[in-house]
Amino acid sequence: MTDSYTRLVSQGLGKDLAKRLGLPQPAVLRRYTPGQALVTGPVLVQGSTAGADELAATLLSWNLDVRRHAVPREKLGAIILVLDGLTTPEDLEKPVLSAASSLRDLGPSARFISISRPAAEAGSPAVAAARQGVDGFVRSLAKELRAGATANGILLSSTVGTTSPSALAALRFFLSGRSAFVDGQFLTVSTAEGTMPADVQKPLAGKVAVVTGAARGIGAAITRTLHRDGATLILVDVPAAGDHLAAVANEVHGTALQLDISRTDAGQRILGHAVQRHGHLDILVHNAGITRDKLLANMDHARWNSVLNINIAAQLRINDALLASEHFRNAPRIVSVASTSGIAGNRGQTNYAASKGGVMGMVRATAPLLAARGGTINAVAPGFIETEMTARIPFAVREVGRRLNALQQGGLPSDVAEAIAFLASDAAGGINGDILRVCGQNLVGA
Amino acid sequence: MTDSYTRLVSQGLGKDLAKRLGLPQPAVLRRYTPGQALVTGPVLVQGSTAGADELAATLLSWNLDVRRHAVPREKLGAIILVLDGLTTPEDLEKPVLSAASSLRDLGPSARFISISRPAAEAGSPAVAAARQGVDGFVRSLAKELRAGATANGILLSSTVGTTSPSALAALRFFLSGRSAFVDGQFLTVSTAEGTMPADVQKPLAGKVAVVTGAARGIGAAITRTLHRDGATLILVDVPAAGDHLAAVANEVHGTALQLDISRTDAGQRILGHAVQRHGHLDILVHNAGITRDKLLANMDHARWNSVLNINIAAQLRINDALLASEHFRNAPRIVSVASTSGIAGNRGQTNYAASKGGVMGMVRATAPLLAARGGTINAVAPGFIETEMTARIPFAVREVGRRLNALQQGGLPSDVAEAIAFLASDAAGGINGDILRVCGQNLVGA
């Protein structure tokens, strides 16, 4: 599923016509399905450090076709540029230009992934400059790639090697179709923690997960994706959405909990439901959220309060309840849904952007509390996603919103769900307090 | 000076026509000239903390018309929303909605300024959520204001009060016409340091300043602005720009230093020139920079290296020389010119974005070294600025680049220069390691 315009211009006569008229030609993105190969072709690993050598050996052990040198005219599934030993900006030249000469060999929906270290941890200005240079470089390259190919980066803290479990987990996410709509973004791996699942097809096997706002849209997609990945589901939504909620719950063999999350006892009710049925809770996805758009000049107390209360105050209260519970202690995971509107602001959404900014502030400040319990909390920040809600936006505004990103299209609810499933997995244990944009490198104002 | 389109639609028949056709109607921005009033009308100070009371008293002492409650139908020069005591997201409601009811009273080129605290310093998730909520709120509001009005925020570290000298300096900058093209941005005041100038018309009196790339464009504008603010100038540019350099140097009664800054001894030469003539150096503005645009697939070593070498490696070398010198010790200031391309990436500019990302990484990592010397280092990140360089961009691309920001127009070189002059001043001593975008809230991908 993609929007009708993207389908039109991606094949046959529509494709020819769009080309001649100079219209945007968004590619149909390669999205993950179980059993799908990790990448679409050989993986070129560039960089001359020990970390690059070790990574190449590990990828070989995954049965991938690994190249350390480009083979002329061979179509590539991915280029991985290992830059874990940068000491000055001059160090970028050789590996970057070596990678540049293979860019034309990247196939459709191929991947470019840099692996480097956080500038904030640098011990000198020259090292910091080199590391932050990678950021500008990758974000530019993401805007140059075509045909559904993306460029993203992984930042490894000093204690994390290129083959640490959570570094590899981040790499698998970016290589795979799970990251189809993630472009021009960085994931920070702050500890080596994280364990590979026994069954890579079922990375959430044995996990009990709660999803709020699960009755429709992105919430329903999250529910389906976590179910596909092996989780046992508890679906939360307001009583008014009861019929939809029951239908999705049946589909994923989960249980429905009709609950207004803005109730002060919502956390206790969620825990009670989970513990009664399953004895514990592993994953909480804060997806429920509302919009009540109005220019600030016309904003009223009801619109402001309902959005702040449901989108952020409820998350704070529910987290408090879970963090106090002995039943949320086994490598717990919280994943919140933020928004690019919370990062950059959006006209007519002062209340929504305040609430979603709030979610990101909460996530970063709560990370140490989860770490103390062996867990993590992260957020995804969706850009323009094709839902019933966005389908109601007037046509011209919707078309601009859709195309104003490097992939020239809106994302799908499943794209958001895939990022959440990844962050909820044991393998992602080294990623904590991070915000991952799922926005096709959306042009926003921040 | 603004672009011809903006002039056309801002008055008379062109204004009516643009309105009827639904064309963008960028406002002519109020820009600073010496002697100009700080704001265009009364200042409404909202917020109920002691910090709000103290600030209102200070603004009164500046002879401003200060309101603590809105006067119906009175046109306002600014709304200052003091939020320095937030404990939960619920705390936003009252002050925000109180400010909302006065938004329609904001006159042309008026200011909305929030004063709050950094989310990263919050002691609890609820406090962090409230503080980060301010970020999403202000950035949204900036996209709603019209007629050249802007919304920006000041973040005060815990040791900094609302009337600390550098907090007031940041406030004066945002209130004044100096910040005309700064919109949707935050300045972080990390220490209370900073001293008000003896003469507010000449905040750089007695300072010796070096500007690289001073012969034309933004560099020449920086030179003129620092001169207007009282600094003694040393203008650096390559020998090939000698005639232009001499002309600008004469205009500002400064001295010209013909120098290729990529020489390994450039720092020593700059110091030598300054010390020989003036005995010391106070301010260094790293403005010199080049572009050599090419898609990465077509990038060659010469293009990559020249951009990285001039835009970042030279800055690192020159800083090393200055930081080692006893003649750069009296509250020294370094201000670098970065770019929104370095923040968000830009198609065709992998080399430029890497270099400008590098500048930002360097600035943050060098801040502690300057602090140890009682100084600061910061960067400005210009968006689309009207220069000879941008005048050569093809018309359609230029028009899109110009309008794709909240102020719907390109900035002027003087807008960049004003931000630099502010960061170079003694009053801004509490701002260190910060990046200030001068971009009209440009829509970019980061």
CA distance B6 to A435: 38
Q: Which residues of B touch A129 (CB under 8 A)?
A: 312, 316, 358-359, 361-362, 365
Burial class (CB in 10 A: 0-12, 13-18, 19+), A5: buried
pLDDT band at B10 (very low <50, low <70, confident <90, very high): confident
B130 with A358: Cβ contact below 8 A: yes
A109 close to A28: Cβ distance less than 8 angstroms: no
Residue range B317-370, pLDDT digits in tens? 999 999 999 999 999 999 999 999 999 999 999 999 999 999 999 999 999 999
Per-residue pLDDT, A195:
84
Tell whether the model's pLDDT for residue B7 goes beyond 90: no
Q: Is B70 on the interface with A (CB under 8 A)?
A: no
Q: Which residues in chain B have their CB less than 8 angstroms from residue A137's CB?
A: 345, 350, 353-354, 357
* B 249-288: CB under 8 A from A: none
**Cβ B361–A313 below 8 Å, yes or no?**
no
Distance, in Å, from the CA atom of A258 to the CA atom of A226, rounded to the nearest integer, reads: 19
- How do B255-258 and B232-237 pair as beta strands? parallel
Q: What's the confidence (pLDDT) of residue B400?
A: 77
Residue B23 predicted with pLDDT over 70: no
Q: Would the CB atoms of B316 and A125 count as touching at under 8 Å?
A: yes
- Chosen from A135, A181, A405 to mutate, greatest number of chain B CBs within 10 A: A135
Q: Does A372 touch chain B (CB under 8 A)?
A: no
Using the Cβ of A444 and the Cβ atoms of chain B, whether some distance falls under 8 Å is answered with: yes
ipTM for this model? 0.95
Q: Which residues contact B366 (CB under 8 A, 6 or more apart)?
A: A125, B319, B334, B377, B433
Contacts of B296 in chain A (CB under 8 A): 96, 100, 103, 140-141, 144
pLDDT at res. A389? 77
Residue at token pair 């204690």: A159
State the burial class of residue B10 (Cβ atoms within 10 Å of its Cβ: 0-12, 13-18, 19+).
middle
HSE-CB at A317 with a 13 A cutoff on CA atoms is 20
Report, as an integer, the average pLDDT of B174-185.
98
pTM of the predicted model as reported, rounded to 2 decimal places? 0.95
Q: Which of B93, B139, B305 sits opposite A446 (nearest CB)?
A: B139
Mutation site, A104, A134, A137, A262, interface B, largest B CB count within 10 A? A137
Q: How far apart are CA B345 and CA B381, in angstroms?
A: 12
Q: How many angstroms separate the CA atoms of A412 and A403, rounded?
A: 14
Residue B434's Cβ-count burial label (10 Å; 0-12, 13-18, 19+) is buried
Q: Which residues of B touch A184 (CB under 8 A)?
A: 344-345, 445-446
Provide the pLDDT for residue A400.
Answer: 77
In this structure, are strands B208-212 and B232-237 parallel, antiparallel, or unpaired? Answer: parallel
pLDDT tens, residue by residue, A360-387: 999 999 999 999 999 999 999 999 999 8
Inform me whether the C-beta atom of residue B79 falls under 8 Å from chain A C-beta atoms.
no
Q: What are phi and psi of A377, to 5 degrees?
A: -140, 130
Q: Of the CATH numbers 3.40.50.720, 3.40.50.1100, 3.90.420.10, 3.30.360.10, which one belongs to the domain with range B208-438? A: 3.40.50.720
Strand-by-strand arrangement of the B106-116 sheet? B66-67, B43-46, B76-82, B106-116, B150-156, B186-189
Contact A210, A234 (CB under 8 A): yes
**pLDDT tens figures, B124-145:** 999 999 999 999 999 999 999 9
Nearest CA distance, B127 vs chain A (angstrom): 8
Q: Do A446 and B445 touch (CB under 8 A)?
A: no
Q: Is A357 on the interface with B (CB under 8 A)?
A: yes
Residue B345: list chain A partners with CB under 8 A.
Answer: 136-143, 184
Q: Do B369 and A344 touch (CB under 8 A)?
A: no
Residue A340 CB burial class (10 angstroms; 0-12, 13-18, ≥19): buried
Asked if A365 lies within 8 A of B92 by C-beta distance, the reply is no
Q: Quick one: average pLDDT of A253-267?
A: 98
Catalytic residue set of A: 352
Nearest CB to B445; choose among A97, A131, A139: A139
The number of C-alpha atoms within 13 Å of B314 and in the hemisphere containing its C-beta is 25
CA dihedral A434, A437, A441, A442 (to 10 degrees): -130
Q: Retrieve residue A170's tokens.
A: 């981040």
Tell me which chain B residue has its CA closest to the CA of residue A129: B358
Q: Do B139 and A184 touch (CB under 8 A)?
A: no
The residue-averaged pLDDT of A344-371 equals 97
A196 token code pair:
């590979």
Higher pLDDT, B311 or A10: B311
Question: Does the pLDDT at position A24 exceed 80?
Answer: no
User: Sheet containing B333-337: which strands, arranged edge to edge?
Assistant: B255-258, B232-237, B208-212, B283-286, B333-337, B376-382, B435-438
The CA distance from A382 to B422, in Å, is 36
Point out the residue among A139, A299, A357 whose CB comes nearest to the CB of B345: A139
Q: Which chain A residues are Cβ-neighbours of B369 within 8 angstroms?
A: 125
**B119 has a chain A CB within 8 A of its CB:** yes
Query: Tens digits of per-residue pLDDT, A154-201?
Result: 999 999 999 999 999 999 999 999 999 999 999 999 998 888 888 989
**Comparison of pLDDT for B285 and A22, the residue scoring more:** B285
Q: How many CB pairs under 8 A join A and B?
A: 289
What does the domain layout of chain A look like in residue ranges?
1-28, 31-189, 208-438
State the average pLDDT over residues A71-92. Answer: 96
Residues 6+ apart with CB under 8 A from A97: B299, B300, B301, B304
pLDDT of residue A288: 98
- Is B140 within 8 Å of A365 when comparing Cβ atoms? no
Chain A residues lying within 8 Å of B365, measured CB to CB:
119, 122, 124-125, 127-129
Domains A31-189 and A208-438 share a fold: yes
For residues B358 and B379, give the distance between their C-alpha atoms in angstroms, rounded to a whole number. 11
List the single residue in A104, A144, A346 with the smallest CB-CB distance to B347. Answer: A144
Helix (H) or strand (E) holding A321: helix A314-323
Looking at CA atoms only, how far is residue A214 from chain B in angstroms? Answer: 24
Identified catalytic residue from B5, B32, B328, B352: B352
Task: Return mean pLDDT, chain A.
Answer: 94
User: Hey, what amino acid is at B220?
Assistant: A
Q: How confident is the model at residue B446 (pLDDT cuts 50, 70, 90)?
A: low
For residues B276 and A193, what is the distance between their CA atoms, to the nearest angstrom?
57
- Residue B254 Cα, gap to closest chain A Cα (Å): 31
- Nearest chain B residue to A105 by CA: give it: B297
Whole-number pLDDT of residue A172: 97
- Over the stretch A107-120, which tens digit does the pLDDT of each residue have? 999 999 999 999 99
Say whether domain B31-189 belongs to CATH 3.40.50.720. yes
**Is it the case that residue A20 has pLDDT exceeding 70?**
no
φ/ψ of residue A243, rounded to 5: -65, -50
**Distance of residue A249 Cα from the nearest chain B Cα, in angstroms:** 31
Asked if B115 is an interface residue toward chain A (Cβ–Cβ < 8 A), one would say: no
How confident is the model at residue B141, as a pLDDT? Answer: 97
| Whole-angstrom distance, CA of residue A110 vs CA of residue A434 | 25
Among B104, B309, B446, the residue with its CB nearest the CB of A139 is B446
Nearest CA in chain B to A319: B125
Q: How far is B300 from chain A (nearest CA, A)?
A: 7
Query: Chain B, 170-229: which have a CB under 8 Å from a chain A CB?
Result: 184
- Cβ neighbours of A400 in B, within 8 Å: none
Model confidence at A445, in pLDDT bands (50, 70, 90)? low
A141: closest chain B residue by CA: B350
Measured between alpha carbons, how far is residue A296 from residues B98, B184, B241 in Å?
A: 11, 15, 50
